[in-house]
A and B are shown apart, each in its own frame.
Chain A
Amino acid sequence: MSGTEPAPHPGDPTAGRRAAYVAGARAALPFTVALFAFGISFGVLAKGAEFSALAAATMSGLVFVGSSQFAAVSVLVNGGGWVAAAVAGTLLNLRYLVMGFAILPALRGGRARRAVESQLVIEESWAIASDTDGRFDRVRLLSSGVVLWLGWVAGTLVGAVGPIKAVDILRLGLDAVSPVLFFLLIAPHLGTARRRTAALAAAGSALLLTGLGVPDIAIAVACLIAVGWTWRGRAR
């Protein structure tokens, strides 16, 4: 898809940047529709856990990780305390440690500015910003991140303020949108045999670990696979 192609930039850097902004925002749009709907469900869930609309929107705006927020609020809904809730949410965010390091060479400016720009990293924006040579495009990260952020926060507000009881994500088939989009984003990254085997190994272990009821470990295993493949490639 368009978001994964390197931006055209010969000659005119401004035009290249603008093209990258547009490419990132456009690639983010289908994800944003799904994220908006998930945001509504999050807002509804948070409302049920006695979150004010301001608290729910603050959480979505500053944490900006759906799975982590759902996990934290679900712990509260199920009777857990605030520490347990925060720990659950934090554990689901550990993957951003790796993704944050990966995107680091693309960021600019001082330490604080790069740390702030890193906050726009979520799986979707990270994938959209990735080029096939293992590098990342800062402009596509920022533009797709902002579009996704707006959808997520707006959805949260609609859910937390509005009279909606629940969005029927299942009835609308919206739960199939994310895997399809991630599949479209992976396609450009399968250019070499070694990348394909890395992806296959990761997919296989994810299947196994999901079957065992511990899908969250699959991310860590994928990191180990990438380490192993890097190590093996070194000898050649």
Chain B
Amino acid sequence: MSLMKRMKSLAYSQKLAPFVFISPFIIVFLLFFIYPVISTVIMSFQRVLPGQTEFIGFTNFKNLFNGDFYKAVTNSVIYTVITIAVLIPVPLILAVFLDSRMMVFKNFFRSVFFIPALVSIVVAGFTFRLIFGEMPTALLNSILANFGIEATKWLGGAAQWTTFLALLLLCCWRWTGVNILYYLSGLQSIPGELYESAAIDGADAFQRLRHITVPLLRPVTIYILTISIYGGMSMFLESFMLFAGNRSPGGSGLTIIGYLYRHGWEQANIGYGSAIGLVMLIVTLGVNVIQLKASGMFKKEG
């Protein structure tokens, strides 16, 4: 009884309270993150079969040097680079327009662009699959027919760019509105006097955009860049839904996570899947450290 009492008063002490508060995080972090990471490291050096596991050294990592994995990495990198090239400047310009004094119905347009972000990837993915259908009556082909363009097999056709175009449009459709909101909130913090004095000095609209808006929105841009790298490199479900499974013709929609899913799940090659996961974990950690350093996160927290 007295032990219980002492335990209770200890838990209620001001010194221990913070650890009680953050204990759920510590437990979840150790059990559902650190433990799986350690398992990943161990299994990546093993051949894991039901009932027997065998240490095979670096074999799993050596096996990574193959055409399919290169294809997956190339696809993920190209996808990330293009989404960043589109999803930073376009939302920036649209946000500046939406914020301008000449714009009407601002709230209406802001909401409309945001709505696609509410839809699950399952619904969005198969809607786009049907829009990009190969039949001449499918939406995109039927629209293009008005301009005399022949029906195209967009998904997994002979030319790879059509597959990529579908993936990119799906991504832009879902995220443009969210990035516009980030930029709009950034624009609210730029004092109006800056533009007025620049206008007095004779700066035109483009110069004001280039020398005031873009530099002052830099923190927002860095944030969007960070989440875009994350989202781009871990892209999988977009491709999975667009192709109704993990099998895109010729690997045109294969991504790094898709490759992990194929080997770790579909082929139950857990050791190899773990090696892929470990490599990606190290790369992601590296990118994050660079990113956080560049944006001054360490200084602020330390």
Indicate, yes or no, whether A interacts with B. Answer: no
